[in-house]
Amino acid sequence: MSGIRTTLLLAALTGLLLVAGQAMGGQTGLVIALILAAVMNFASYWYSDQLVLKIYRAQPASPAEAPVLYDVVRELSSRAGMPMPKVYLLPEQAPNAFATGRDPQHAAVAATHGLLRMMSREELAGVMAHELAHVKHRDTLTMAIAATIGGAIAMLANMAQFAMLFGMRSSDGENSNPFAAILMMILAPIAASLIQMAISRSREYVADAEGAAICGNPLWLASALRKLGQASQRIPMPEAESHPASAHLFIVNPLSGRNLAQLFATHPPLEERIRRLENAAYGRG
């Protein structure tokens, strides 16, 4: 059901891009929307992993530099029947982790220095198993595509604002309703963000369950999430604050704004994630 939901949400996001393009620029806007989607999806498929690793100044982690992390990832990959991903370290004090890459053969997992200091080996295994679950189910590619389409919608809205400011009209001569175009410029990026967040939230629960199965003990991940939730309130992550569009990649929300409505959260509530893992551990429904 989660896979079907994700597919429907991606379809809705793509449809929103096309509707927004036509509303803002008529037939010309629709063509521009299609071109943007094609170009940006191509870029996200081939280069999204390199981009996010560069943003967070990730450094490759060798067995000598991070022996525990490397051994944990190697052991979990073998247990999950997956290729060994590349392993990276992020020079961040805030404990967190993410996975990236278009498929299991081109995947990377990254952990912050803060995560390695805070977690026991079992908790680290729970966190990295969660990230490997994202790779296994190709969530990393799904979220890259969702972020790309959302970015295309925002770009389209900016282009429409620019055209309206200078009195430019579409080359096909259509006289579109200016009020509808203005409304779409405002609402389309908001709707795109909401759909992106819904996709992200739905995939986190699946990755938690699969990660618990990979590491063999749901309580390891539950304990790690509890620590991460407490630490995220105290330790900021400046790079994530500078690039909020990448927040959905991390196992817990790295942003410091905690008073936003739950509707705008990129992750499901930690309490609910922990409750589900504990229920799985103790055989509760």
Residue from 73, 113, 111, 107 nearest 93 by CA: 113
Q: Is 134 annotated as a binding residue?
A: yes
Q: Is 204 annotated as a binding residue?
A: yes
User: Which H/E stretch holds residue 280?
Assistant: helix 270-281
Contact 101, 140 (CB under 8 A): yes
Per DSSP, the residues of 158-173 read HHHHHHHHTT---TT-
Q: Is 137 annotated as a binding residue?
A: no
Strands 86-90 and 108-112 come out as parallel
Strand-by-strand arrangement of the 86-90 sheet: 59-60, 86-90, 108-112, 97-100
C-alpha span between 45 and 151 (Å, rounded): 14
The active-site residue, picked from 75, 131, 241, 278, is 131
The one-letter amino acid code at 10 reads: L
User: Which H/E stretch holds residue 11?
Assistant: helix 2-55
Strands 97-100 and 59-60 come out as unpaired
Would residue 131 show up in a list of annotated catalytic residues for this protein? yes
- Backbone φ and ψ for 170, nearest 5 degrees, come out as -65, 145
Which positions are catalytic? 131
Annotated binding residues for Zn(2+), written as ranges, equal 130, 134, 204
